[in-house]
């Protein structure tokens, strides 16, 4: 090997760089461990709210030492920025995909148009979106263009004053569509920037936010985030800040009386005549007295059946701008009443456009109450002043010491604010500060007009809520609503368990591989072990340097790389042993062994790498993590096997020391093997035919257990304080949700619960509704006293770790997208690999055999998952992780097949006079030792991950285990025999020609 000094220098320097990159992770782990120990000493476990107090102590400790020099000028703050990132499944947190509403953007661009053609197109696009993978914008344009003579450049649609610089009346629909596409993309970009600014101020380390193509979807990953509800509110809040003049509450006393009387007519027709006569005799004064009497007798009325539809819901009479106070649970009913045309018609002319909105809920003696306000709206329903004028916002405190948010306005806003406050001062009225249709405060103006553009929002919220509110106002409002169409929440306890299980599987797999290599190859195996250790250092160093995220599938990828990385060393060592058996010197054998194995090593790793690239392109989230570590592992294992191992071997043997590449137990193992593979190929065809037919029948009859990310729905991992019966709980869940499934997940006190209940409905309200229903259904199985808040968010320090450990939601539209991407990933990998093998071997028979073997492997895996979907004690779902497993199996099977094909091609060149079947049999027999060595080590590694690697990847590992077994079998008994049968005739003809024409001996024996 030439340039040994350069290779040695590069390996040393690169190793030092990797150690440097990983040092940041060691430093942060040490400091955070000290912080945790400090908090445990300072906070007693018996104290109330132990977890929150401990977190606060930890946070203060870390803040206090964040700038301290820890080592060589490195501080905790700088180390935290460069540490190896841990993914959601290892650290806990939240991962969501937000769908920015393109419909909202279109309505905004059209200035709220009520044009019939426009609204019809929106409605049709809404309906079509449920069953289509096309973008909403395309569906809207398609629906609009289907209407004869409908013009997007109409003054009632997009040819309005807001778009006058871009769209004029003469433009045709195609031209307008181009403008609208650009405007929509600008709005989505704006939404992305708003969300990024909010997240940057949220305080989570190593957040990740990125746009997903042009679909209007935005991925947000917040590892370590614990307050999940706060995160969801922060992400979905549109921050639509508005300032309105507000009516005085007592101005609506008469309306409430009239509305109550009208409701008695509408809701109880049989009493209509009596109710109408009574209402006609009532004066305004009498109606006000009725309200007072009803409020005075509230307690008595709660125990009696009331005939006053609206009055019976009033919990307290209003004051100032408050019309009345209601129970929070009754807001939907009150909204329904106030929207009725019969009730709206009772409003006087000056209140015709009044807009009813609610305040912030408050708790009074255990009851959740909420105030009702009426804003002075106009026909266009536009506020007097919008939040777009806000230039800055900070969390402060008001004069009463309550948390508040202070805001500053630009010049235009300051002028309008002065005008509004002057009007309110003169009229003795209030101004409502409304955020996302919620009145946060409605202060009066007692000192005259307020100049300078300063205003303040105060309300009953915490410091954290005040900080978040200031954050979203400062970042700006979203241009459209953002719905969570996919989410995954992992509790910190489950994350720590994943780390523990991942490390356990990693150490066990590593120990086995190291011991096996020494047992089989002796001192040479020891050198390979050193190269493997350097390989692992390189992998983790590169991950840290690139800022990649380490996930549980990523750890599986690293462990799998360990199993597969020995393949290169096995190939080299087996070739060296062959050269030694021919009587060559040790130096020549080592040189020729490395040289002869290079082609097989490159072909095998390139085919595996191609499937890894497909995973990286089509995969999402953890699958990308798996693909990243797999690709990095392939590159580093090639370098360490070809160069680093060679350095050690050459260095050992340069002084004449003997290196046998075997031990006493393995020296003669697999020598003189003579299996008639070609003669036995029909047995393989029959066996594979039976397995494939059984798989196809099972797939047709039983189908597959498709996961939530393929069909949509919600799934929860729930832990109980004792063992539970999954079947019994599933029956109760079905009675609640109509569609539900409960399966034991790992231990008997843990269930994975899946439901498609309201799968096509988005929004926090639906999420909360389902979460509450789940809690109520499971309450009898949970510890007494476990509250709903404790149930839905398990804390890493809770005594029993009982409740929702993780949750996931996938909307039906994005589920279809995931399934579509998965299909393309599998097909794409097969096409790419077919073309690569055709390019390398120049014979379509080789490509046909390899791809047929891969189809064979995938079908059998699918069949086994179909047959055993209800029989296994672990999840057999077909999801993104399963697709990653399939593609990994494709790569592994091709790896094995390519090594065999490469040896067959080599034998064709060396033994031109041999019969075709003898050439193939000899080539296969010569690779037996390598095939079994690689398969055994990889299989043991996978078994270690399967047993110790955690429940969440057990199905993933099971698919890989089947794939390794079936893939090894198919490379010997499917791929090669098919190649033989399709090429046999041509090869025999060529052999006869070669016997007659000596000048053609160097040509390859198979003609396409």
Top pLDDT among 44 and 403 is at 403
Q: How far is CA 889 from the centre of its chain?
A: 23
Percent of the chain's residues with pLDDT above 90: 7
pLDDT at 474 over 70: no
For residues 97 and 90, what is the distance between their CA atoms, to the nearest angstrom?
19
pLDDT at 1003 over 50: no
Place of tokens 């266009």: 380
pLDDT of residue 281: 44
Kindly report the backbone phi and psi dihedral angles of residue 292, in degrees, each rounded to the nearest multiple of 5, phi listed first.
-60, -40
The Cα–Cα gap between 14 and 752 comes to 44
Contact 956, 626 (CB under 8 A): no
Give the per-residue pLDDT at 226: 63
Tell me if 246 sits within 8 A of 432, measured CB to CB: yes
pLDDT the model gives residue 851: 84
Q: What angle do CA 898, 900, 903 make, to 5 degrees?
A: 105
Angle at 500 between CA 496 and CA 506, to 5 degrees: 140
Three-class SS state of 155: coil
**Which of 462-471, 669-678, 836-845 shows the lowest mean pLDDT across its residues?**
462-471
Give the model confidence (pLDDT) of 212-250 as tens digits.
766 677 777 777 666 666 677 777 766 677 888 999 988
Paired with 211 in beta bridges are 218
The angle formed by the CA atoms of residues 271, 277 and 281, to the nearest 5 degrees, is 145
- Stated as kind and residue range, the H or E segment containing 564 is helix 552-581
**pLDDT surpasses 90 at 687:** yes
* Strand runs labelled E in 720-861: 740-745, 747-755, 803-810
Is the model's pLDDT at 303 over the cut of 50? no
DSSP calls for 63-116: HHHTTSEEETTEEHHHHHHHSPEE-HHHH-EEEEEEEE-HHHHHHHHTTT---H
pLDDT value at residue 202:
58
Give per-residue pLDDT as tens, 849-901.
888 888 898 899 989 988 887 777 777 777 777 777 777 777 777 778 888 88
To the nearest 10°, report the CA torsion of 580, 583, 587, 591.
Answer: -60
Of 32-36, 275-279, 541-545, 879-883, the range with the highest mean pLDDT is 541-545
Residue 892 three-state SS: helix
Q: How far is CA 668 from CA 570, 925, 936, in A?
A: 16, 14, 18
916-954 pLDDT per residue, tens: 888 888 888 888 888 888 888 888 878 887 887 666 677
What is the H or E stretch that residue 776 is in? helix 764-778
Cβ atoms of residues 265 and 275 within 8 Å: yes
Give the pLDDT band (50/70/90) at residue 782: confident
Are 241 and 252 in contact by the 8 Å Cβ rule? The answer is: no
- Alpha carbon distance 202, 141 (integer Å): 38
370, β-bridge pairs:
326
Please give the full DSSP string across 946-981, using - where no structure is assigned. HHHS-GGGHHHHHHHHHHHHHHHHHIIIIIHHHHHH
Alpha helix ranges (H) inside 868-975: 880-910, 916-926, 928-948, 954-970
**Residue tagged 């770790």 (tokens):** 801
The token duo for 522 is 């002796």
- As a residue count, the chain comes to 1008
Convert the pLDDT of each residue in 165-208 to its tens digit: 788 888 888 888 888 888 888 888 877 777 776 676 555 556 67
Q: Name, of 168-182, 616-630, 675-689, 776-790, the range with top average pLDDT.
A: 675-689
- The residue ranking higher by pLDDT, 972 or 1006, is 972
Q: Which residue has the tokens 């231990």?
A: 747
Range list of H helices, 582-706: 586-618, 622-639, 645-653, 681-701
DSSP secondary-structure letter at 873? Answer: S
Taking CA 981 as the corner, what is the angle to CA 975 and CA 982, rounded to the nearest 5 degrees?
90
| Neighbouring-strand partners of residue 747 | 745
Distances (CA, A) of 820 to 135, 470, 617, 879: 15, 41, 13, 12
What pLDDT is attached to residue 271? 47
């Amino acid at each position: 090997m030439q340039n040994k000094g350069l290779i040695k220098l590069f390996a040393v320097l690169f190793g030092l760089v990797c150690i440097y990159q990983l040092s940041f992770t060691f430093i942060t782990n040490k400091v955070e461990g000290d912080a945790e120990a400090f908090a445990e000493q300072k906070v007693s476990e018996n104290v109330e709210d132990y977890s929150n107090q401990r977190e606060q102590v930890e946070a203060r400790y870390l803040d206090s030492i964040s700038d301290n020099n820890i080592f060589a000028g490195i501080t905790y703050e700088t180390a935290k920025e460069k540490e190896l990132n841990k993914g959601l499944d290892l650290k806990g947190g939240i991962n969501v995909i937000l769908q920015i509403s393109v419909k909202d953007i279109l309505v905004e661009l059209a200035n709220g148009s009520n044009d019939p053609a426009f609204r019809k197109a929106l409605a049709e696009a809404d309906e079509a979106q449920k069953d289509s993978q096309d973008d909403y914008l395309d569906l809207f344009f398609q629906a609009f263009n289907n209407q004869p003579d409908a013009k997007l450049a109409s003054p009632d649609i997009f040819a309005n004053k807001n778009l006058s610089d871009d769209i004029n009346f003469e433009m045709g629909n195609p031209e307008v569509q181009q403008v609208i596409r650009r405007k929509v993309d600008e709005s989505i970009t704006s939404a992305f920037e708003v969300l990024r600014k909010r997240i940057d101020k949220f305080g989570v380390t190593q957040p990740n936010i990125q746009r997903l193509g042009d679909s209007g979807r935005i991925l947000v990953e917040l590892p370590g985030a614990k307050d999940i509800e706060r995160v969801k509110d922060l992400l979905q809040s549109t921050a639509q800040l508005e300032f309105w003049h507000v009516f005085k509450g007592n101005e609506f006393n008469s309306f409430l009386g009239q509305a109550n009387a009208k409701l008695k007519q509408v809701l109880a027709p049989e009493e209509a005549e009596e109710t109408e006569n009574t209402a006609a005799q009532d004066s305004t004064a009498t109606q006000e007295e009725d309200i007072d009497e009803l409020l005075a007798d509230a307690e008595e009325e709660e125990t009696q059946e009331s005939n006053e539809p609206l009055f019976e819901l009033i919990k307290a009479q209003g004051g100032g701008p408050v019309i009345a106070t209601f129970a929070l649970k009754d807001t939907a009913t009150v909204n329904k009443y106030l929207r009725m045309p019969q009730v709206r018609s009772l409003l006087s002319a000056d209140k015709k456009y009044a807009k009813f909105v609610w305040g912030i809920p408050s708790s009074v003696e255990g009851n959740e109450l909420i105030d009702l306000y009426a804003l002075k709206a106009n026909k266009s329903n536009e506020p007097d002043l919008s939040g777009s004028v806000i230039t800055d916002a900070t969390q402060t405190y008001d004069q009463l010491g309550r948390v508040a948010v202070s805001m500053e306005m630009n010049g235009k806003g300051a002028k309008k604010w002065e005008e509004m406050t002057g009007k309110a001062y003169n009229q003795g009225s209030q101004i409502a500060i409304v955020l996302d249709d919620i009145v946060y405060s409605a202060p009066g103006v007692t000192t005259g007009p307020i100049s300078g553009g300063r205003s303040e929002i105060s309300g009953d919220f915490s410091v954290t809520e005040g900080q978040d509110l200031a954050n979203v106002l400062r970042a700006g409002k979203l241009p459209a609503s953002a719905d969570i169409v996919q989410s995954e929440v992992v509790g910190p306890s489950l994350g720590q368990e994943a780390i523990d299980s991942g490390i356990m599987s990693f150490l066990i797999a590593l120990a086995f591989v190291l011991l096996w290599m020494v047992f089989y190859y002796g001192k040479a195996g020891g050198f390979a072990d050193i190269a493997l250790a350097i390989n692992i250092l390189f992998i983790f160093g590169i991950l840290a340097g690139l800022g990649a995220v380490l996930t549980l599938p990523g750890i599986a990828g690293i462990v799998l790389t360990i199993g597969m990385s020995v393949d290169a060393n096995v190939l080299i060592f087996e070739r060296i042993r062959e050269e030694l058996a021919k009587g060559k010197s040790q130096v020549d054998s080592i040189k020729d062994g490395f040289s002869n194995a290079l082609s097989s090593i490159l072909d095998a790793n390139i085919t595996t790498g191609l499937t890894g690239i497909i995973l990286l392109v089509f995969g999402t989230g953890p699958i990308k993590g798996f693909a990243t570590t797999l690709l990095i592992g392939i590159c580093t294992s090639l370098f360490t096997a070809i160069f680093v191992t060679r350095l050690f071997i050459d260095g050992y043997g340069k002084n004449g020391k003997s290196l046998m590449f075997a031990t006493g137990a393995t020296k003669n193992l697999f020598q003189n093997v003579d299996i008639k593979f070609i003669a036995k190929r029909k047995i393989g065809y029959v066996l594979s035919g039976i397995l494939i037919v059984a798989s196809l029948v099972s797939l047709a009859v039983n189908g597959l257990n498709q996961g939530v990310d393929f069909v949509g729905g919600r799934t929860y991992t729930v832990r109980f304080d004792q063992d539970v019966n999954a079947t019994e709980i599933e029956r109760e869940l079905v009675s609640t949700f109509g569609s539900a499934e409960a399966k034991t997940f790992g231990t008997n006190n843990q269930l994975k619960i899946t439901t498609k209940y309201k799968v096509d409905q988005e929004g926090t309200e639906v999420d909360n509704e389902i979460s509450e229903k789940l809690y109520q259904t499971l309450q009898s199985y949970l510890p007494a006293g476990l509250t709903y808040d404790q149930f839905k968010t398990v804390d890493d320090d809770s005594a029993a770790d009982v409740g929702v450990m993780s949750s996931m939601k996938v909307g039906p539209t994005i589920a279809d997208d995931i399934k579509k991407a998965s299909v393309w990933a599998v097909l794409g990998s097969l096409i790419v690999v077919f073309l690569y093998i055709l390019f390398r071997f120049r014979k379509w028979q080789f490509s046909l055999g390899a791809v047929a073997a891969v189809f064979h492997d995938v079908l059998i895996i699918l069949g086994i998952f179909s047959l055993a979907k209800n029989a296994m004690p672990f999840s057999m779902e077909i999801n993104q992780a399963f697709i990653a497993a399939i593609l990994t199996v494709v790569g592994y099977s091709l790896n094995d097949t390519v090594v065999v094909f490469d040896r067959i091609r080599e034998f064709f060149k060396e033994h031109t006079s041999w019969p075709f079947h003898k050439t193939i049999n000899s080539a296969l027999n010569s690779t037996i030792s390598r095939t079994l060595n690689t398969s055994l080590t990889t299989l043991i590694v996978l078994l270690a991950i399967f047993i110790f690697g955690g429940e969440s990847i057990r199905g993933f590992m099971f698919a890989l285990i089947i794939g390794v077994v079936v893939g090894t079998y198919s490379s010997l008994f499917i791929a090669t025999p098919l190649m033989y049968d399709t090429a046999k005739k041509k090869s025999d003809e060529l052999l006869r020609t070669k016997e007659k024409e000596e000048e053609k001996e160097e040509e390859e024996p198979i003609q396409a």
